[in-house]
Chain A
Amino acid sequence: MALVTFNIWRGSSEGGEFQRYQTEISEGMVVLDAVHQIQAEHANDLAVRWNCKAGKCGSCSAEVNGHPKLMCMTRMSDIPQDKDVRIEPMKSFPVIKDLVTDVSWNYRVKQRIKKFKPRPPDDEDGTWRMAQDDIDRVQEFRKCIECFLCQDVCHVLREHSLHDKFLGPRHLVYTAALEMHPLDVEDRLEDLKKTENIGFCNITKCCTTVCPENITITDNAIIPLKERVADRFYDPLIRFFRLFKRGRS
């Protein structure tokens, strides 16, 4: 058992400040346990969003000592306890209260991404055939739990607040899952370049670093999408060969 001091941001959309709390930390505790303990012992009105406590619902996203993390998956034993542990809400989204932020912008962005559009069925019974290898590639993206930690750490949103121009890594992963799907025939490349501005991503890989599901966001989703956009808009050679190919067929 150790007495640990926490600095937790308390406030609302009107403003707020950090408040110090001390609580006993026992073996096996995660940050969310400590926050719940503080809530029970010192601050009954402390707002924190949580649900599964198993790293699968993506609710308890916050910043622990400046690192975007799921509080339920951050062990107290992995944090230096000789100094105050600083917990604050995600910075890319407006605060509702204390550690709870309004992430609804993400749902609005998701709605404007063109939906899955499969090719006509392969068989008369209305079914399709897919190779496991082809679907494995996009399966990684389906692991996303929408915790929005990648959106939080993305400096385009966090630092430059370009929410109205850039969709962020979470939605690039979502787009990649659709765009690379072996059945999908929808074209999202023009949107990616012109309205969602994939070019704002300067591939610093912060999103990959914070992903609790270890999705290789930058290398497997964003860069392949950037390459597809380059094929379409920036590579005259590829465009020339495509014309030739079309001419032959």
Chain B
Amino acid sequence: MEPSNILFEKRGFGQTSRQDLWWVRPGLIFLALSSFIVYATWAAFQGEHYAYGAYLSPFYSPEIFGSSPHSWFGPKPGWWPLFLPFSPALLILWAPGGMRFTCYYYRGAYYKSFWADPPSCAVSEPRKKYWGENSFPLIMQNIHRYFLYLAILFVFILAYDAWKALWFIDPVSGNETFGLGVGSLVLATNAVLLGGYTFGCHSFRHLVGGFKNQLSKSPIKKTAYNCASCLNRRHMNWAWFSLFWVAFSDFYVRMCSMGIFMDWRIF
């Protein structure tokens, strides 16, 4: 017979013997993630002020179709349905969004903060039924590794953007010259943080070597696994810093493009 605890009957939502401020952490995560979602959605739908000279907002990179000089295949395609709003960000943001949505760290965080499943450790839940990630729809979280493959591609594209952000057009001669602006640093930091987040991903750690029991027989896999494990130990920090910085990078480029910020050229 399996255990059934008759002494502690199901209690109401949020009931606990904990005396600490258990609701602060999930509350802050709720606020932070909500703020990011609202800002990212707003920024994605703007469709303008996403590029400034050599800088391209990471929300819009890669710019597959678009009106800025960073566009890969020219302006908005003619076949784009008229009833659909167009923004270069809408073509690509689903990929990094999917990576974060299915990320093991974020899953644990938003199950608590948005779905109260549980609201916090050892705190009662609002629902009696529970399926977890054992059946549809949450079984779809297993798609995470496919979003990871795309996210790795994005890291390289954003690193290339950071490189391009070091090359400025001289207004007098029209030649491209090497330089460093605050925006260059912002975009470089963004690429580094996203790299730290992506290459410390649990799925990445598994795919580069974690799946093997005898890693010592594969020195390259072992090195990759150790590096991924090293980043993985601070995966939560990478997740939050990269999330904040990708939004800040968009904000910085947007402000420069709107003429509110002046990008300071260091050299």
Contacts and interface: CB of A to CB of B under 8 A. Distances in A.
B130 A67 contact: no
A223 interface: yes
B135 A94 contact: no
B214 A160 contact: no
B108 interface: yes
B5 A227 contact: no
Interface in B87-117: 104, 107-108, 111-112, 117
Q: Give chain B's interface secondary structure class.
A: loop
A219 B117 contact: no
Given A202-B111, A204-B111, A134 B19 contact: no
- The contact size tier of chain B is 35 or more
A230 B18 contact: no
B121 A134 contact: no
Contacts of A121: none
A105 B3 contact: yes
A160 B127 CA distance: 9
A197 B122 CA distance: 21
A184 interface: yes
B13 to A, nearest CB: 11
Given A11-B7, A93-B5, A201 B124 contact: no
Given A133-B216, A160-B128, A204 B121 contact: yes
A127 interface: no
B139 A199 contact: yes
B118 interface: yes
Contact of B130 (A91, A133, A200, A228): A200
Interface string A209-221: 1100000001100
B161 to A, nearest CB: 28
Interface of B: 2-8, 10, 16-20, 104, 107-108, 111-112, 117-118, 121-122, 124-125, 128-135, 138-139, 142-146, 202-203, 205-207, 210-211, 213-217, 222, 232-233, 235
Interface of A: 11, 13, 15-16, 63, 65-68, 80, 83, 86, 88-89, 91-95, 102, 105, 131, 133-134, 137, 153, 155-156, 158-164, 180-182, 184, 197, 199-206, 209-210, 218-219, 223-224, 227-228, 230-231, 234-235, 237
